[in-house]
Amino acid sequence: MSVKRVVRETPIEVAGFRFGAAACGIKASRRADCGLIVADEPVTAAAVFTRNRFAAAPVVLGRERVRSGRLQALFINSGNANACTGRQGLVDARRTCRVVGGHLGLSPDLVAPSSTGVIGVPLPMARLERGAAAAVKNASSRGIWRFARAIRTTDAFSKLSAETVRIGGRSITVVGVAKGAGMIAPDMATLLVTILTDAAVTAAQARWLAREVAGGSFNELSVDGDSSTNDSLYVLASGHAGNAIARDRGSLEALRRAAVGVGDSLARMVALDGEGATKAVSIEVSGAASTSAARQVAETVSRSLLVKTAFHGADPNWGRIACAVGYSGVAFEPTAVSISIDDVTVFRRGAGLSGVAARARRRMKREEFSVRIKIGSGPGRARMITSDLSPAYVRFNSAYTS
């Protein structure tokens, strides 16, 4: 599957939702830095969050808020993570929900907060409150692109993906919006993502969808191996399509495929946007003794700095890939291993193949390509999406807070 990146800001709407954005001065650039999603009435909600032990205050509060399975608003600020800010961070997260709820005429319990940006800096609440008021005021059904721009931090472009599916004779819309470029690794969603749909689902089904989207896309993504303190993936379902998915397993599966497809597209956008990245690479492992063994190999290769720099230079250096497979900790017979760059096999039966480097290099010069690794004849398969590593990543992250 290739990236379905929306280049032009074509109108995208999801029945039952409005979107607002504002610049409140958290970002030094003075660009929009807070975004709002608000539903016409309480909607079915679920979420998956980071497993980082230093979970940010909005993650802690978000976990509380989604337990009921109902939300009506999600407020995101960018430029400040509100992470590692002690007790005050949670106080500020709760205050944010009260302010947003007050402007919308909602109970704060129906508002979830989310934050992204620099760790360890208290939220500038006076500025944030002004931004919340402005975002509420300009919220509209066609404002999703403004929202997408407002939640960006180091992102080079806004990330949206949309799918429609026919269920029970009705057209169902699934839209995903994400931010993320660096500090991206598995262990839930690895960035901030919201999946919106006008489908009708139960709270249990929404939780299942959140897990499926995370597991089928974002947990197969690694840019730099760092899992953030703020990772959050929300699923919000308005039910405005008037379908009856809750009573039809086949329809729910169709919705799952659409949602995972949207998530996969967003994950690939994140890989392409990996703070200086120029390529999105799919590491596909097969023939392992188990799925977990295949996953271990794929993750090891996706994290290798030597492999990622070879990707950047379009260097078909299969030795670096084979080396990473070898130290992955998975048992295999070396003579059973083969490595291919897309459809070009570069390594087989324990040795490299001659006369294929030029063809493999041409594949690696593409914006997207695959590395296919077969390590035996077992049933285990796994995939990871990663990016190349460029000098721009080092330059940017060496001065992120200065």
368-399 pLDDT per residue, tens: 999 999 999 999 999 988 888 888 777 766 65
pLDDT band of residue 152 (cuts 50, 70, 90) is confident
Question: pLDDT value at position 232?
Answer: 85
Mean pLDDT of the chain: 88
* Cα–Cα distances in angstroms (integers) from residue 247 to residues 173, 205, 244, 384, in the given order: 19, 11, 6, 34
> Residue 397: what pLDDT?
62
* Average pLDDT of span 154-161: 83
Q: Could you tell me the pTM of the whole model?
A: 0.81
DSSP letter for each residue of 125-194: HHHHHHHHHHHHHH-BTT-HHHHHHHT-SS-SS-EEEEEEEEETTEEEEEEEEEE-SSS--SSS-SSEEE
The yes-or-no verdict on residue 272 having pLDDT over 60 is: yes
Select which of 85, 96, 116, 190 is catalytic: 190
CA distance 182 to 259: 23
Q: What is the DSSP letter of 246?
A: G
pLDDT of residue 371: 97
> Does residue 401 have an active-site annotation?
no
**Residue pLDDT, tens place only, 35-64:** 999 999 999 999 999 878 888 999 999 999
pLDDT of residue 225: 55
Q: Is 69 exposed, middle or buried (0-12, 13-18, 19+ CB in 10 A)?
A: middle
Q: Give percent of the chain with pLDDT exceeding 70.
A: 89
Which class is 17-272 in CATH? alpha beta
Please report which helix (H) or strand (E) contains residue 209, including its range: helix 203-216
pLDDT of residue 7: 46
What average pLDDT does this structure show over 360-365? 96
User: Mean pLDDT, to the nearest integer, of 116-121?
Assistant: 89
Q: Which residues contact 148 (CB under 8 A, 6 or more apart)?
A: 35, 158, 159, 160, 177, 179
pLDDT tens readout for residues 228-265: 677 788 999 999 998 777 677 888 889 999 999 998 88
* pLDDT: which is higher, 396 or 366: 366
Question: What confidence tens digit (pLDDT) does each residue in 164-222 have?
Answer: 998 878 899 999 998 875 555 555 444 788 999 999 999 999 999 998 888 766 665 66
Where in the chain are the domains?
A: 17-272, 280-397
Alpha-carbon span 75 to 62, nearest angstrom: 11
Q: Are 64 and 95 in contact (CB under 8 A)?
A: no
Q: What radius of gyration do the chain's Cα atoms show?
A: 22
CA dist 339 and 284 (Å) reads 10
What CATH number belongs to 280-397? Answer: 3.10.20.340
In this predicted structure, which of 47-56, 170-179, 281-290, 328-337 has the lowest mean pLDDT? 47-56
The pLDDT of residue 101 is 97
DSSP conformation class of 110? G
**Residue 1 confidence (pLDDT) above 50:** no
Instruction: Tell which residue, 391, 327, 339, 400, has the closest CA to residue 370.
Output: 339
Pairing of strands 34-49, 232-237: antiparallel
- Do 17-272 and 280-397 fold alike per CATH? no
pLDDT of residue 381: 95
